[in-house]
Amino acid sequence: MGKSKTGFLFTACYAALSFVVAAFGSPVQAQQMTGPKYEVDPTWPKALPSHWVLGQSGGVCIDSKDHIFNLNRRDIEDNNEMDGGEQAPAVIEFDPAGNVVNTWGDLALLPDTFFHGCTFDKDDNLYLVGVQDGILQKYSHDGKLLMQVGKKGVIDSSDGTSKGTPNNSGKDQFFRPAGIAIDPTNGDIYIADGEAPRANHRVVVLDKAGKFLRQWDLKKKDTDAADWTPVLHCIAMDKDGNVYVCDRQGQRFQIFDKKGNFKRYVDIPFTQRTPYPATKQFERAKSGSWGSSVYISFSTDPQQKYVININEAYGEITILDRATMQIVSKFGRLGHQLGGMTHAHFAPMDSKGNIYVGEVSTGRRVQKFKPVP
């Protein structure tokens, strides 16, 4: 006797569920996701003026009025892409509705194209770094250079160039700085100095005037592979003064106090989901070195209930409960479509709970994700 319709339906559903479990993990785990949910906002940003063409997003940060700043790397070199358009400015300010309200950036002063992070202080001054230059810069909200630490084009290495051996010790120079955090209590500046394996590998702390105070390194686990190399891809400080540093090669972030005393690891496990082609293009993806923790920010409620983590390897945002460090929510997937993410690198939250995701490499955009009631 053949299967009944009910039996056939059950078999089909079971097969489909088995596929989902194999691809995305246990459905029980999905049911336990109790954190906030997000969906992409297709109306943000509005159309860019003058047929602007964006390069990679080298930093996304939000000021006290929920204006979103995108650092545009201006790295478009394809003539076809530029046909009928023009390079967008280096620093683009959007209002909450997605309209461009200001642009600035003197290319003779700014780091050499490869921005890699920005943040605001309590006075709405903008701090930024670029991995191709060993400098930190502080600008007024409208683009006046207020402070620079380091000399443009000079690297903290044995020969002052990116080809030299990392010194990991410069007091006023860096080697591939990747991110900045400002201590709101005193203005001290925390820098993740070491965006790549062959670079520096330290957290550097400066006072608000740019004077060197101290530095420390990431902590290796006893279970880490012998070739584990610290790659400090981000830095953030929570309201309690804990310093979070993305350990890109370790698939985790590490937490310290302000003096550099280690507190804990928070693992964001990486498991290869897809058999990548055996080509040089996919070598980093196969090893997981794109990273499951490449950016950290916090929810903007008074308690900072959530930690927002970018898992670049999966193209998703991972949200953790800050008290327990348990993953409570995820959204996003790899891809170029609306709501997909290609090399997501920055994800700050505004005061309304919206998250703005900036993408590098072939992503070259900023998307807004809004909370779902």
Mean pLDDT of 15-40: 54
33 HSE (CA, 13 A, CB side):
14
Predicted confidence at residue 236, as pLDDT, reads 98
Is 306 a residue whose pLDDT tops 50? yes
Mean per-residue pLDDT over the chain, rounded: 88
Of 11 and 235, the one with more pLDDT: 235
**CA separation for the pair 36, 40 (Å, rounded):** 14
What's the pLDDT band for 271 if we cut at 50, 70, 90?
confident
Per-residue model confidence as pLDDT tens digits over 190-218: 999 999 999 999 999 999 999 999 999 99
What's the pLDDT band for 151 if we cut at 50, 70, 90?
very high
Predicted confidence at residue 55, as pLDDT, reads 93
Predicted confidence at residue 145, as pLDDT, reads 98
Cis bond before residue 373 (omega within 30° of 0): no
Boundaries of every domain in the chain: 1-32, 34-372
DSSP letter (8 states) at residue 341: B
One-letter amino acid for residue 127 of the chain = Y
Mean pLDDT of 149-172: 96
Tokens representing 195 are 């965006």
The helix/strand/coil state of 239 is: coil
What's the pLDDT band for 282 if we cut at 50, 70, 90?
low
DSSP string, 8-43: HHHHHHHHHHHHHHHHH--HHHHHT--S-EEEE-TT
Predicted confidence at residue 348, as pLDDT, reads 98
Judge contact between 145 and 104, C-beta under 8 A.
no
Is 20 a residue whose pLDDT tops 50? no
- The sign of the torsion formed by the CA atoms of 314, 316, 317, 322 equals negative
> Residues with Cβ < 8 Å from 256, sequence gap 6 or more?
203, 216, 242, 243, 245, 262, 263
Mean pLDDT of 9-36: 45
- Please give the model's pTM, rounded to 2 decimal places: 0.89
Per-residue model confidence as pLDDT tens digits over 250-259: 999 999 999 9
Of 286 and 173, the one with more pLDDT: 173
Mean pLDDT of 36-45: 97
**CA separation for the pair 46, 312 (Å, rounded):** 26
Is 286 a residue whose pLDDT tops 60? no
Per-residue model confidence as pLDDT tens digits over 78-120: 776 777 788 999 999 999 999 999 999 999 999 987 899 999 9
> Residues with Cβ < 8 Å from 192, sequence gap 6 or more?
117, 177, 178, 179, 180, 203, 232, 233, 234, 235, 245, 246
**CA separation for the pair 345, 58 (Å, rounded):** 8
What's the pLDDT band for 227 if we cut at 50, 70, 90?
confident
Predicted confidence at residue 290, as pLDDT, reads 84
Per-residue model confidence as pLDDT tens digits over 309-345: 999 999 999 999 999 999 999 999 999 999 999 999 9
Residue 225, number of CB atoms within 10 A of its CB: 10
DSSP letter (8 states) at residue 4: P
Judge contact between 328 and 335, C-beta under 8 A.
no
Predicted confidence at residue 277, as pLDDT, reads 55
| 34-372: CATH, from 1.20.58.110, 2.20.28.10, 2.120.10.30, 3.20.20.140 | 2.120.10.30
Predicted confidence at residue 16, as pLDDT, reads 39
Predicted confidence at residue 159, as pLDDT, reads 97
